Structure 1
Amino acid sequence: MVELDPLIRGFYRDRYREDDRLARSGHGQLEFVRTQELLRRFLPVPPATVLDVGGATGVHAKWLAADGYSVHLVDPVVEHVEKAAAVGGFGASVGDARRLSQATDSVDVTLLLGPLYHLVELDDRVQALREASRVTRPGGLVVAAGISRYAGLLEYGCNGGLTEENLQLFTAAFATGRNHDDPEGFTNAHFHQVDELRGEFEAAGLRDVEVLGVEGPAAPVLHNAAPEDVARLLPSAVRLARLLESDPRVISAGFHFLAFGRV
């Protein structure tokens, strides 16, 4: 049985449009290009098998299948799975990252490009990573995304939305990593520090762990860019993100991390 916080389920069912999240804004396009670039760098060659846990409506499963991978998507939101199944080219089923139905050692790569956001308890995040490790063959790859602890401060600090009245909300989330559901914004979530995400991978028994920045320091610029400016700004932002992706002094200046570990 899938146990999903009702606030999180309602957020994705009623308040948030997941289908085109990575296409409708400059930041979304930057996140997509960089996620695609990093996955293609680390993944084994097709036709390796990929389990896309928390894959939502299939934005990554779609291009991975087109690249020649054998992909199956799992997501806890029924409406997401229905939309993903309609895409074609990959399988899709309802499931929980902490209790996967897949057999042990059955896939070459397991992706968690969203589950760690909404597993707000440390034990649940480590359990999801252990499950990913269980279903991934020895020597295989586990990849997980985390939201930067700085993301909220960066977003609101750069769009004019950070005020004396709401400052405490963002500093509290920065201090604890816990974001509480906001009817006007994001839902319940955990925001990571780089070393924290690495530590969770290691606690799950994964080895050769590497954590890279996704969007880089230009994320707030692309987030606030006018649609007509995105095409001009995007190539430079990608180059900057690529150049600084592993620099410990600026890796947290983007909105997301990707962590890679071996089983």
Structure 2
Amino acid sequence: MDQVTGEIVTFYEQRYDEAARLDRRPQCRLERIRTLELLRELLPAAPARVLDVGGGPGAYARELLTDGYQVRLVDLVPLHVKQAREGQPPIDAVVGDARELPEADGSQDATLLLGPLYHLQERGDRVRALREAIRVTRPGGPIAAAVISRFAGPIDFVASARFDERMVAESRRLLTDGVNDGSTGFTQAYFHRVAELTAECREAGLADVVIHGVEGPGWPAAEAAQHGPHAEKIFEAALQVARVYSAEPDLVAASGHLLAVGTAPLR
């Protein structure tokens, strides 16, 4: 295990509770709801085989199991694999790297990359992970890959009243450099522009690429309002706006997460 990989594993095993993340804040609730909606639109009918690469403790894998899919989870973090196996329903899960998947060519009906591209700072590694997803997916099968938007951090700090002079400098830096500043509390990571994600997907060979903004442009309002009298009304409005403008090119970058969807090319 190299140093960067070791830092990522340590972060998730000792400093951050990924198992609770999707229930923690309005932005995370929006992420969960919209990701599931988009996956259910994308995936072939159950009981199709779905590979969940970087699936963490299994939040999405369990939903898909309940829907009747055959799901296998691969994650870099041993703790996440343990949590996936021990939860209910238990998930078929193994430790693995998105850049070298332990699966046969064309063995999956669909493949999800809902985390690995966050943590691969080198473009070549991200393209390699996308190519691996294509390799293990049957020709014509759907693939979904999530990234963090280049502008998510500063917007989040504004919405949560944490924006300060240091964040002004960070906002300027992010205009030209997507590598995460570890002093903000997150681990080794890379933040994407929309055009960059599109180009990486196409370089990897993914066909029919569409980029969605997962949480939509209303998520900062939901964050800022979460303790106020209109919290649920604003949350529901943000969810509706996210649905309406999901793939609107002029708005997708305002989301906290981007989801590239496409298909494995016909061979």
Q: Same fold (TM over 0.5)?
A: yes
TM-score, structure 1 normalization: 0.94
Alignment of 1:1-263 (within 5 A): 5-87=5-87, 88-182=89-183, 185-226=185-226, 230-263=231-264
**Rounded Cα–Cα distance in structure 2 between residues aligned with 1:92 and 1:111:** 14
CA deviations over 1:62-88 (Å, ceiling 9, x no partner): 000000000000001001100000123
Question: Identical aligned pairs, as a percentage?
Answer: 45
CA deviations over 1:54-110 (Å, ceiling 9, x no partner): 000000000000000000000010011000001234300000000001000000111
Which structure has more strand as a fraction of its residues?
1
Contact 1:47–1:69 under 8 Å retained in 2: yes
More off after superposition, 217-226 vs 124-133: 217-226
Contact 2:149–2:191 under 8 Å retained in 1: yes
Contact 1:3–1:96 under 8 Å retained in 2: no
Q: Show structure 2 runs of 5+ residues with no match.
A: none
CA deviations over 1:224-251 (Å, ceiling 9, x no partner): 3335755333321111011111222211
Contact 2:4–2:188 under 8 Å retained in 1: no
**Rounded Cα–Cα distance in structure 1 between residues aligned with 2:226 and 2:170:** 27
Contact 2:154–2:167 under 8 Å retained in 1: no
Contact 2:211–2:252 under 8 Å retained in 1: no
Contact 1:25–1:227 under 8 Å retained in 2: no
**Rounded Cα–Cα distance in structure 2 between residues aligned with 1:152 and 1:90:** 32
Q: Secondary structure at the match of 1:231?
A: helix
Q: Secondary structure at the match of 2:182?
A: coil
Shift of 1:2: 8.3
Question: Are the structure 2 counterparts of residues 238 and 161 from structure 1 closer, same or farther at C-alpha, using a change threshold of 3 Å?
Answer: same
Q: Secondary structure at the match of 2:208?
A: strand
Contact 2:159–2:223 under 8 Å retained in 1: no
Q: Secondary structure at the match of 1:246?
A: coil
Contact 1:2–1:95 under 8 Å retained in 2: no
Question: Are the structure 2 counterparts of residues 62 and 187 from structure 1 closer, same or farther at C-alpha, using a change threshold of 3 Å?
Answer: same
Letter in 2 for 1:258: L
Q: Secondary structure at the match of 1:259?
A: strand
Q: Secondary structure at the match of 1:138?
A: coil
Letter in 2 for 1:37: E
CA deviations over 1:154-202 (Å, ceiling 9, x no partner): 11233332222342123213321111322x5211211111111111111
Contact 1:214–1:257 under 8 Å retained in 2: yes
Contact 1:26–1:230 under 8 Å retained in 2: no
**Rounded Cα–Cα distance in structure 2 between residues aligned with 1:162 and 1:180:** 15
Q: Secondary structure at the match of 1:179?
A: coil
Q: CA RMSD in A?
A: 1.7
Shift of 1:4: 5.3
Question: Are the structure 2 counterparts of residues 105 and 2 from structure 1 closer, same or farther at C-alpha, using a change threshold of 3 Å?
Answer: farther
More off after superposition, 248-257 vs 94-103: 248-257
Contact 1:198–1:259 under 8 Å retained in 2: yes
Q: Show structure 1 runs of 5+ residues with no match.
A: none
